[in-house]
Every structure is written in structure tokens, then in C-alpha cells.
Structure 1
Amino acid sequence: MSRSRQQVIRMLALVPYLQGNDGVPVNEVAAEFGVTPKVIRDDLRLLMYTGTGEYAGELIDFDLTALERDGIVHIRDAEFMTRPLRISAREGIALIVALRTLRASASGPELTVIDSALAKLESAVGDTGAAVDVLLDEVDPVIHGAVVQALSTGKRLEITYATATRDEQSDREVDPRRLFTEQGKLYLEAWCLTAQDLRFFRLDRVLAARATETDAEDHDAKPRDLSDGFFTVGEETPYVLVDLHPRAHWLTEYYQVDLLEENEDGVWRAKIYGADWGWLRRLVLRNAGSVTVVEPQELRAQVIEDARVALQAYDEVVTSS
């Protein structure tokens, strides 16, 4: 089971436990849930942002002085957890759409749970007069099942992946992190052992997948923030015009890229968008020798100077040794 899922399950159980054991030492809570006191403290801080609204009395609260000074947990303002949740028709419709989206990417026992929740929600909301269908590109159910199994059991995946921008297939081992949908596509975020970095894999491009017996590692990698969307480009979004050599073609799959030209020598001309110029400069430098800046000239000159300084420093170290 993934860490995030374990945390959600633990936090759902924490509230009723603490309501029935007010004033319990945090070390005792940790022992009860089989984690460290630090994990419980982190859970409690996160729970303080949880509730039915955004004002005092609508959010769970804790006596932080008692927690930090004495190691004692006193829960406050959690009485709403014993009351049935009331939602508006608009909130109900939003939940129905979210569940239908989740159903389109689910498999196995998950479908039974989702269908049950959908039936209850649709019955409670009633006839809204608007039918909503969620459509995702079809994914091989065997492959999807293998990915879900690896995620739920925390195992490493072996996949065969096809790159649409060139007629190639590659066999990879990946440590899966999460599944998500974007623009009708189902994606897997995973740590790729070949690239030694986080990558996004479209499931409709995965030709084969098998969950191994090897435990997936965390790799201390921060998931990419998708709160503003997977592909978000505006008129003011910085971009760099580059030539991508074959070893850098993978950039077109992981980042927001407009592919402009594919030359016969395997070099692609493309626009790569980024949050700021500093990030774009670092991306080019990390892929030195595989990415060539065409414009803007200011960034090109800066990358050349950074590379020159780095090589000079390297030469000085080699000479001194």
C-alpha cells in the first residue's frame, strides 16, 4: 500500500480514536497506530486543515501547547465528524463527475466500491437534468490491472513503453507513484530507473506491464504539482527554442513542448516552456551535449558561459590532482 493511502486510512481512524481518548500521550497514539510520534505529529498538523469549511468551528483543531510542551493530544472542534455531511446539489454533481472520472481509470475491486458510492450519490442528488459522461482513451485492462496492483502493493513495475514521437520501444523498470488523468489520457507517474528521475508514462502507450516482487523505493522525489493542470501555457509563459539531439527526445514526453521540426539527422527543433528562465537554463545545462539553445540569444550566451566556467573549474581540479 502506498504511503499516501496509508496516511489517509490512518487519519480517518485518528479522529474517532482521539475523540474517545482525549488527553492521550502522543507516544501512546503512535504505538497504537504502529508509527513514530513524529508521524502522528505530522498527521495532526495536517488534520488542522480538515473540516467542513474554513472558519473556526468548521476545522479540526488541537491544543498545540499541550502537544509540543507535554506531548499530550487534546482534540477540539471535531464534533461535526459525528453529524451527517450535508452537500448542495452542485457539490453532489461535482462529486459524481469526480467519481465517474475515477471509475474510468479504476479496475478490479475498486469498481465495486466506486459503483456503490456513485449509486448512493446519484440517488441523493436526484435528477439534475444534466447527463455527464467521462471518457478516457482505452487502456488494456491487463496492463492497467498490473499498474494498479503494483501501486496497491508497493512493488516495482517492469514495462515496455512505446514512444509516439519516434518508432521505438524500450523496456524499463519503474517505481510507481500515482495514476492520474489529464485531457482524456491516463498517466502513471513513476521513478524511472533508466533515467534516474521521475517520468510520466501514458498508459495507452504501455505495451506490457508486470508487477515484480521487488519493493518500490521512494527515491525522496517530490511529485510534480498538477494543481494548475498538466499542460498550462499562456502568452507570458517563458520558452526557449532548442535543438534536441536523440538522447534528449524524452523531454518531449515529460515537459510541455511544441515540436516544430524533425530533421533527417535525428535533431528536433522545439519550444520548451518553463516556469521561469532560471529553470529553463538549468534544464539545458542538465542535458548538456543533447540540447542546444537556438534563441533567445541572451539565454544561449548565458548557457555557453556557464558551461565554460564549469569546464574551466573541472580542468583546474584535474590539473591540481
Structure 2
Amino acid sequence: MKILADVFDVTPNQMVADLTTLWMCGLPGYTPLELMDLSFDSGYVTIHNADTLSQPRNLTIEESIALLLGLDLVMQSLPADREDLKSMATSLIRKLSLQANLLSPLRAEPHHNKKNSAAILLAISTKKMLRIKYHALYSDEVTERDISPIEIRNEDSHDYVFAYCHTAQAFRSFRIDRILDSKQAHASASVTGSTVSEASTISYSLKLRTNQRDVMERFNLGKTQMASEVTSRAFSPQWLIRSVMASAGSAELTEPRVIRAEIAAAAAAILQKYGES
């Protein structure tokens, strides 16, 4: 294991993590017969079905396209100084394109800015802070935040950066395609606090009137919470205001009073505009 880690220039722990990932890799078919049969508990890495995996396999057009799109995304995410990896990826793309008889190059366009993605990856690897300009959907505001990125996650087909937000003094997730700009901060990342801070959340109470299923899904309530009145917590007052207004009378906010007053004022302003028209 130590020799293998040295060959790939990674730590032994990273080598174990990568080998664990390979357990779910293999040839098309995706049954135990095609997946890699590895063992490395003893400290020696053994591929038990190496002969089977080494047999040439023809790729279908669908598999070739998937590989080409994946390689294109990999190339776009590579640092500018890794020309060696870009050259290897370009060679693979050329060979796969010829085999699949695809004359025009395939492009996989990411939903978010490549510059921001590269900046996030660099901040994670160097443990540096990042200053981002972020469009918050719930408040419809663009704010600047200092964050210490920890990892990139994919949820519901969207990429998020999980980070410690020094502006909010709490852990937050930011959707990468809503990051308008990013630049490296000079300070090193210093993370303090907890994943979920009670102080950074808002306790609220709802009175349920109609359409309880819609309310349950909108406010992410479990079946055990469903009653005529429920209490839960939210991270954003803007989200709470929009969610209550979007429920169109199915749910009434009873607490906190300050946010209840904001909802009443917003509803009155909307009604006034209807009267003016």
C-alpha cells in the first residue's frame, strides 16, 4: 500500500479511500462479475479478477458519449498548470471519438462558472478563505461573504459548496451556480462553531388551516409533526416569509410576531397594488 501511494503521490489514507471507490467500478453490466474484486486489508493490494477485467470490451454509442462528456468535464475542471493530464484526456477523447465515429466534438457545459469552481477547489486544497459574491434566492439579494470551503456536494442535480461562513458565523451551503464572483482571501481558513447553531436559526409556529399535504412538503414537516399547530425552525426569515405567503392561507404564522407583522405588511402592499390597477 505504501509503495502504491508513493507511485500515485498521495497519502496511504487517500489511497485506501480511492481503492474503496474502485469497488463500485468495473465493466458495463454492473453485476458482481463485472465490478472490480479488490482486497487490501492486509496492506497488499490484490485484484482477484484482473484477467476478466483485462479482456477487451466494445463500448456502445451511449457508453462512448457518456465517457466523452465526462472527459470533457474533467478537462474543464483541471488546473491550468496540469498540461500532462489535459494531454492524456485529449488523447482519450480522440481515440473514443474515432471508435464511436463521432466527427464533431462533444461539449458538456456546466451550469456554473468554471472560474468559481476552480477557485473553490483551490481554496479547499490550500485551506484558504474565499470571498464570494452570492445571490441569495430567498431574499433576492446579492451579498459578499467570506467563507472557508470544506467540500463540494451534489444534491438534486445541483452542485453546492459546503463551507463555514465567517459572515454568518455558522456552517452554510451555497449553490455554486448562484455565486456571481469569487476571489481568494489572504487569510487562512479558521473554522469555529457547530454545524447547526441554535442561535442562527429561527423558531416559528404555524397554525394549519387547509391543504396540509402542501404545507407538510413546503415546510419539510414530518407526519409525526402534523397537528393543528406545529413548531419548527428555519435558517432564513426571508424563506419563512415567502413560504408562508406561498401557502396562500393554508398556513398561518403565529410566532414570531415580528415576522408575522412583516407578512401582514407585504400582503397589504400587494392588495393595494391590485386596488390601484
Q: Does 1:177 align with 2:154?
A: no
Q: Does 1:55 align with 2:28?
A: no
Paired amino acid for 1:51? G
TM-score, structure 1 as length reference:
0.48
Shift of 1:168: 3.7
Q: Please give the secondary structure, in 1, of the residue aligned with 2:152.
A: strand
Q: 1:272 aligns with which of 197, 218, 226?
A: 218
Paired amino acid for 2:232? L
Match in the other structure for 1:285: 232
Counterpart Cα distance in 1 of 2:37 and 2:105: 36
Q: Contact (CA 8 Å) 1:151, 1:177: kept in 2 or not? A: yes
Paired amino acid for 1:272? R
Aligned residue pair count: 223
Counterpart Cα distance in 2 of 1:146 and 1:109: 14
Match in the other structure for 1:133: 107
Q: 1:240 aligns with which of 215, 225, 232?
A: 215
Counterpart Cα distance in 1 of 2:143 and 2:51: 53
- Please show how residues 12-27 of structure 1 align to structure 2 within 5 Å: 13=4
Paired amino acid for 1:240? V
Q: Please give the secondary structure, in 2, of the residue aligned with 1:109.
A: coil
1:127-184 CA-to-partner distances (Å, cap 9, x unmatched) read 236653333467384x55432321332333233334365344232223241276987x
Match in the other structure for 1:256: none
Q: 1:90 aligns with which of 41, 59, 62?
A: 62
Identity across matched positions, percent:
13
Q: Contact (CA 8 Å) 2:153, 2:160: kept in 1 or not? A: yes
Computed over aligned residues only, the root mean square deviation of the Cα atoms, in angstroms, reads 5.3
Q: Does 1:198 align with 2:172?
A: yes
Q: Contact (CA 8 Å) 1:137, 1:204: kept in 2 or not? A: no
How has the CA–CA distance of structure 1 residues 138 and 92 changed in structure 2, closer, same or farther, with 3 Å as cutoff?
A: same
Q: Structure 1 unaligned segments of length 5 or more: list them.
A: 1-9, 18-32, 222-237, 242-270, 305-321
Q: Contact (CA 8 Å) 1:49, 1:59: kept in 2 or not? A: yes
How has the CA–CA distance of structure 1 residues 167 and 275 changed in structure 2, closer, same or farther, with 3 Å as cutoff?
A: closer
Q: Contact (CA 8 Å) 1:240, 1:272: kept in 2 or not? A: yes
Counterpart Cα distance in 2 of 1:47 and 1:220: 33
Q: Please give the secondary structure, in 1, of the residue aligned with 2:232.
A: helix
Counterpart Cα distance in 1 of 2:191 and 2:86: 29
Counterpart Cα distance in 1 of 2:193 and 2:174: 16
Match in the other structure for 2:50: 79
How has the CA–CA distance of structure 1 residues 51 and 208 changed in structure 2, closer, same or farther, with 3 Å as cutoff?
A: closer
Shift of 1:118: 3.4
Counterpart Cα distance in 1 of 2:132 and 2:181: 7
Paired amino acid for 2:218? I
Paired amino acid for 1:119? S
Q: Please give the secondary structure, in 1, of the residue aligned with 2:218.
A: strand
Counterpart Cα distance in 2 of 1:239 and 1:111: 52
